[in-house]
Amino acid sequence: MSNVLYQSKPMVKRVTASTLPLMLDYDSSIQGDLDRSMYIQLFAMQPCADAKLAVCDGEAVGIGIARLLYNGELFIGPLYANTYVSWYVVN
Q: Would residue 61 count as lying in a domain? A: yes
Cβ contact 61:6 at 8 Å: yes
Range of the domain at 45: 11-90
As a whole number of angstroms, the distance between CA 39 and CA 20 comes to 12
As a whole number of angstroms, the distance between CA 68 and CA 32 comes to 28
As a whole number of angstroms, the distance between CA 25 and CA 73 comes to 28
Domains: count for the chain: 1
Q: Would residue 1 count as lying in a domain? A: no
pLDDT of residue 57: 87
pLDDT in tens, 6-45: 567 788 999 999 999 999 999 999 988 889 999 999 989 9
Whichever domain contains 59, its CATH number is 3.40.630.30
As a whole number of angstroms, the distance between CA 8 and CA 31 comes to 26
pLDDT of residue 2: 47
What does pTM read for this prediction? 0.78
pLDDT of residue 85: 59
